[in-house]
Amino acid sequence: MKYIWKIGYLQAILIVSCLLLGALLAYNGLVVYPSFQKMLTKNTEEQAERVANYLISDVLNTSAGLQVDAGADVKIRTALDHFRLWKLKIFLSSGRCIYSTEAADVGKMNHSPIFETALPDGELLSKVVKKNGKSSEGQTVPLDIVETYIPIFGQGNFLGAFEIYYDITERKDRQDLNLQNSILVSCGISLLFFCVLIFILARAGKSIIERNLAEQKLIDYQQQLVESEKMASLGGLVAGVAHEINTPVGAAVTVASSLDERTRHYQDLMLNDQIKRSDLKKYFETAKTSASVILTSLRQAADLIKSFKQVAIDQSCQETRMFNVRQCIEDVLLSLKPKFRQHDYQVEINCAQDLEIDSNPGAITQICTNLVMNSLSHGFAERDRGKIRLDVQVAGGQLQLHYADDGVGMAPEILKNIFEPFFTTKRGQGGSGLGMHIIYNLVCQSLGGTISCKSSPDQGAVFSINIPLS
């Protein structure tokens, strides 16, 4: 049972089943039982009418008012036995009783208004009276009966009425027994169905909960795997940074220690008054070259640290706002204009002038800058001409950015590594190998999108970026 309560829709199935069972029982009690009773009344009413018709022609004289024939009593009592009647009375139209199988009733008045309204209109009136209940005349009835009034007409005039008391005790008992049995059987079947339902729901609930737990475990495990994967890649990144920074910093240290050694040497010469003008000249020369090498190396290191800082984008300070995408791309191209100047490089932008999105403009700027920079420094390296095409549109709730250049393209071994941090084919020539890694991080992590690249030698490079928009 506890498994069912833990799962919303199983709970709903159980509640709906309970309600249906309740409704079935209520239907039996409120609709089926009363309709059987109605049927019983209708049947007796019809029989009463038949009895009345028989008696009208056999025991009544309607030629001059309403009179009961002499010897009617025997015939009436025979009918009473034959039709299982408990009692029969005959009234005049005034309500006076002129005949009854119980002699004490004769001569009494029936003050019921039906003698003025319903009966003169030819209506039959029936009433079920339960054992020890009161008849319409206020008499206590010792049996279950149906009390029926049937009007008597003669030459179109309302002359009086029969009142026939039908003994339905036996029929009602039989009917009640049948109904009881059918209710018992339907309750039994319902109970059985209910037990089976609970059993099935409990089993289903248990297996759903077990499956959910297993799925959660799998998700946790995958998350752990992703985390450790992230840590490993961060470790790789740190090792890469250390390796990259080691070269310029190492060079600076070597030159600085050699400068230190030279400085001490010339200081000793000066303290012993042995220094010559040519020595001083040599020392200044060394100091100048060393300072320049140290400066260059440290600048290189500083640049690397700056790039590294960009890679570790702080997700929390990513600004999101509505901005015009085309304007953003045009700004990027404007900032890179000096690099286009000496060559015939063309850029075609296919993007609606008024395309506005709610996203991170800084990230889009950085992505476009790095893509264009790569086309210039790799795709169009040593080429005078080159064409870049940018198709941008919003479709299916995504910003679709299609970037293509017609540059030198990439061999498969380069293509498969381009998103790796520190992967570059321009090592020692200004390439750090972080540009594409930054793009990858921005698209996939900061913006939650996807990026893919297609390229082959001399066929240019194509980048497809999809960014979901909220």
Ligand X SMILES: Nc1ncnc2c1ncn2[C@@H]1O[C@H](COP(=O)(O)OP(=O)(O)OP(=O)(O)O)[C@@H](O)[C@H]1O
Point out which residues bind Mg ion (CB under 5 A): 374, 435
Q: Which of residues 441-470 bind ligand X (CB under 6 A)?
A: 461
* Given 56, 293, 436, 465, the residue binding ligand X (CB under 6 A): 436
CA atoms of 135 and 357, how far apart (whole Å): 85
CA atoms of 292 and 370, how far apart (whole Å): 30
300 binds ligand X (CB under 6 A): no
Question: CB 441 → ligand X: shortest distance, Å?
Answer: 11
Question: CB 433 → ligand X: shortest distance, Å?
Answer: 4
Q: Which of residues 112-131 bind ligand X (CB under 6 A)?
A: none
* Given 148, 375, 441, 466, the residue binding ligand X (CB under 6 A): 375
Which is nearer to Mg ion, 351 or 367 (by Cβ)?
A: 367
What 3-state DSSP class applies to 147? strand
Which is nearer to Mg ion, 286 or 417 (by Cβ)?
A: 417
Residue 446 interface partner, choices Mg ion, ligand X, none, CB cut-off 5-8 Å depending on type: none
Residue 14 interface partner, choices ligand X, Mg ion, none, CB cut-off 5-8 Å depending on type: none
Residue 425 interface partner, choices ligand X, Mg ion, none, CB cut-off 5-8 Å depending on type: ligand X
Which is nearer to Mg ion, 290 or 374 (by Cβ)?
A: 374
Residue 467 interface partner, choices Mg ion, ligand X, none, CB cut-off 5-8 Å depending on type: none
Per this entry, what is the length of the chain?
470
Question: CB 461 → Mg ion: shortest distance, Å?
Answer: 12
Which is nearer to Mg ion, 139 or 425 (by Cβ)?
A: 425
CA atoms of 397 and 460, how far apart (whole Å): 29
CA atoms of 70 and 383, how far apart (whole Å): 138
405 binds ligand X (CB under 6 A): yes
* Given 95, 160, 240, 435, the residue binding ligand X (CB under 6 A): 435
User: In the beta sheet, which residues pair with residue 99?
Assistant: 90
Give residue number: closest CB to ligand X.
435
248 binds ligand X (CB under 6 A): no
Closest CA to 469 of 412, 403, 394, 407: 394
CA atoms of 91 and 459, how far apart (whole Å): 116
Q: How many residues bind ligand X (CB under 6 A)?
A: 24
Which is nearer to Mg ion, 110 or 374 (by Cβ)?
A: 374
* Given 10, 14, 351, 408, the residue binding ligand X (CB under 6 A): 408
Which bin fits 458, alpha (ψ -120 to 50), beta or left (φ > 0)?
A: left
CA atoms of 87 and 100, how far apart (whole Å): 7
| Range in contact with ligand X (rule: CB under 6 A) among 86-94, 137-145, 317-325, 403-411 | 403-411
Which is nearer to Mg ion, 325 or 372 (by Cβ)?
A: 372
Q: Which of residues 342-371 bind ligand X (CB under 6 A)?
A: 370
205 binds ligand X (CB under 6 A): no
Q: What six digits make up the tokens of 184?
A: 């018992």
Question: CB 382 → Mg ion: shortest distance, Å?
Answer: 16
Element at 2 (helix H, strand E): helix 2-6
| Range in contact with ligand X (rule: CB under 6 A) among 282-290, 315-323, 340-348, 435-443 | 435-443
Residue 140 buriedness (CB in 10 A; 0-12 / 13-18 / 19+): exposed
Closest CA to 432 of 241, 174, 150: 241
Residue 215 buriedness (CB in 10 A; 0-12 / 13-18 / 19+): exposed
For residue 205, the one-letter residue type is: G
10 binds ligand X (CB under 6 A): no
Please list, in sequence order, all residues whose beta carbon lies within 8 angstroms of the beta carbon of residue 194, skipping any fewer than 6 positions away: 17, 18, 21
CA atoms of 166 and 262, how far apart (whole Å): 139
* Given 90, 418, 442, 451, the residue binding ligand X (CB under 6 A): 418
Which is nearer to Mg ion, 101 or 425 (by Cβ)?
A: 425
* Given 148, 297, 374, 441, the residue binding ligand X (CB under 6 A): 374
CA atoms of 219 and 199, how far apart (whole Å): 30
Give residue number: closest CB to Mg ion.
435
* Given 52, 433, 442, 466, the residue binding ligand X (CB under 6 A): 433
DSSP string, 301-349: HHHHHHHHHHHS--GGG---EEEEHHHHHHHHHHHTHHHHTTTEEEEEE
372 binds ligand X (CB under 6 A): no
User: Binding residues for ligand X, per CB under 6 A?
Assistant: 370, 374-375, 377-379, 405, 407-408, 410, 414, 418, 423-426, 431-437, 461
